[in-house]
Amino acid sequence: MTDAKAASPRQRGGSPQASSHTLLEGRLGYQVESALLVRALTHRSYAYENGGLPTNERLEFLGDSVLGLVVTDTLYRTHPDLPEGQLAKLRAAVVNSRALAEVGRGLDLGAFIRLGRGEEGTGGRDKASILADTLEAVIGAVYLDQGLDAASELVHRLFDPLIEKSSNLGAGLDWKTSLQELTAIEGLGVPEYLVTETGPDHEKTFTAAARVGGVSYGTGTGRSKKEAEQQAAESAWRSIRAAADERAKAAEEAAEEPVRETADEAGKPAGEPVRETADAAVNATEESVKDTDPSSATA
């Protein structure tokens, strides 16, 4: 196992596979031993259709552990006051098939996977489960070839934005859970999801609308019903949260207004009321003297 090092991808001749792997290595930022990378990209459907080749499942198992360790260590150090249960929920918000698939799509990982004809024909290159498993296998391959430091750096580069985003989920395991908790706090009721689908069976697109109390607060689309519902829940959560924050801000400003008026009154010079009272008393005294002075009456 070698020390971690980020280097320019090495060339392996002019074959299409070599060029493809070089492109992927460039996106990863690491060179990976050729046979190891090929195995990481070999889905079981391809292996079974080609005489029982080794699959990426063992590397997936290893990469899952490496990913879990790095993410758990990061959450533990970043949130020193959170209890175990909350840390577990934040980790689950990062290490799940949907999140891994989105990272894989960002790398265009689907274009490099070796798939069987059956999976190829049913849109396997964009299936969340296949993308997630392959990404874990690639992480496992980087770990074996480059070491834990390199694998850790790769995980941080790919997943730190998700780790930061997970903090916005509050106590929720995912956006649907977070939305349900928020609507309960706001007294809005239980969310429901209306899902429609379009496209052929092998390439369906799902659209979900998150409704609470008969009102639609957000929509989302995805390759699966679950993914569409999660996006709709996130959109609705942000909409309801923004409205709640606006109400809280308005209430705070309204509460501050009487305080400002009292402060303005208190800011008047203290001598003014005293002088007004004293002047009135002097005037009253002078009038009284005039009324009782005999000379003024004679005049």
Catalytic residues: 64, 136
- Count the Cβ atoms, other than its own, within 10 Å of residue 246: 10
* R_g over Cα of the chain: 34
d(CA 232, CA 37): 36
Q: Which residues, including other chains, have CB under 8 Å from residue 245's CB and lie 6 or more apart?
A: none
Chain centroid to CA 2: 34
- Tell me, what DSSP letter sits at residue 114? B
Gap between the Cα atoms of 249 and 247, Å rounded: 5
Residue 50 has a CB neighbour count (10 Å cut-off) of 11
Burial of 122 (0-12, 13-18, 19+ CB in 10 A): middle
The residues near 79 (Cβ < 8 Å, ≥ 6 apart) are 86, 87, 90, 167
Amino acid identity, position 212: V
The DSSP letter of residue 267 is T
Report, in this order, helix, strand and coil percent for the chain, each rounded to 5: 70, 10, 25
